[in-house]
């Protein structure tokens, strides 16, 4: 006995025998005989995959339209309107790791191997603000400023905040008679020792000159 069914994709009526309906329910995991042809079935699946949903950006709450297929690929389930918003949110809600770059860690290791005097890394104790590198015996500090210190990657307000903090840090070093050497490392997009060695060379050169000046000072 046949039954009349409406195709879920093209909305055309078609007929199926009862036994075929039961077989399709059994072997297609409950999908049932809802399509008049394989083309209609494939067309329906493609339409579902490309179906768009309106959501809100997890960071700025602006409207975001995404395909269902894109949402399924998101491990966190969060949706963002831009890479900038994603970076801000992930940086703010990060629960593991630290803010130090691979280059900073590498430079620390190289300096520790080269010098036997005290070098302090990422300390806030000296000026109540973090210094990337500080050498107490030379009253010398270094800041490795990445792209976020010069461009509004996280927005104009965030850039202004970073610049103000940099200015306060520089003033605090002056007040504590610390020579602060600011190194523009914004050109380092992806760390590679052979390419970023130039920043380490700058640090070593400044240390060498500073040590020479300190040694030449008369004993008072």
Q: Is the pLDDT of residue 177 over 80?
A: yes
Instruction: Supply 102's token pair.
Output: 């691979």
For each of the domains in the chain, give its residue range(s) and CATH number, in order of start: 2-49 (no CATH), 52-92 (no CATH), 102-216 (3.40.960.10)
Which pTM was predicted? 0.56
Q: Is 205 exposed, middle or buried (0-12, 13-18, 19+ CB in 10 A)?
A: exposed
Say whether 188 sits in a helix, a strand or coil.
coil
Concatenated DSSP letters of 104-131: HHHHHHHHHHH--S--EEEE-TTTSS-E
H helix intervals, the chain:
18-27, 38-49, 68-73, 83-92, 102-114, 156-175, 193-216
Q: Is the pLDDT of residue 31 over 50?
A: no
Summarised one tens digit per residue, pLDDT across range 47-78 is 766 666 777 887 788 877 776 656 555 656 67
Q: Is the pLDDT of residue 218 over 60?
A: no
Task: Tally the residues of the chain.
Answer: 220
Q: Is the pLDDT of residue 220 over 50?
A: no
When pLDDT is averaged across residues 149-155 and rounded to a whole number, the result is 85
For the ranges 100-109, 151-160, 198-207, the one whose mean pLDDT is highest? 198-207
Q: What percent of the chain has pLDDT over 90?
A: 37
Q: Is the pLDDT of residue 139 over 90?
A: yes
Summarised one tens digit per residue, pLDDT across range 80-129 is 887 767 766 665 555 444 467 889 999 999 999 999 999 999 998 999 89
């Amino acid at each position: 006995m046949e039954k009349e069914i409406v195709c879920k994709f093209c909305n055309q009526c078609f007929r199926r025998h009862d036994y075929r309906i039961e077989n399709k329910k059994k072997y297609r995991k409950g999908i049932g005989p809802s399509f008049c042809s394989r083309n209609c079935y494939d067309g329906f699946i493609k339409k579902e995959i490309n179906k768009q949903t309106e959501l809100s950006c997890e960071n700025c709450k602006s409207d975001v339209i995404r395909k269902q297929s894109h949402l399924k690929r998101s491990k966190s389930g969060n949706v963002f309107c831009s890479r900038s918003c994603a970076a801000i949110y992930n940086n703010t809600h990060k629960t593991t790791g630290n803010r130090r770059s691979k280059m900073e860690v590498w430079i620390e290791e190289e300096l520790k191997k080269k010098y036997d005097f005290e070098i302090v890394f990422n300390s806030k104790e000296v000026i109540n603000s973090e210094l990337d590198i500080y050498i107490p015996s030379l009253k010398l500090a270094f800041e490795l400023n990445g792209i976020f210190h010069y461009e509004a990657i996280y927005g104009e307000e965030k850039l202004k905040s970073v610049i103000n903090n940099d200015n306060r840090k520089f003033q605090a070093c002056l007040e504590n008679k610390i020579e602060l050497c600011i190194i523009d490392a914004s050109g380092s997009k992806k760390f590679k020792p052979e390419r970023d060695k130039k920043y380490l060379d700058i640090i070593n050169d400044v240390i060498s000159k500073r040590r020479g000046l300190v040694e030449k000072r008369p004993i008072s």
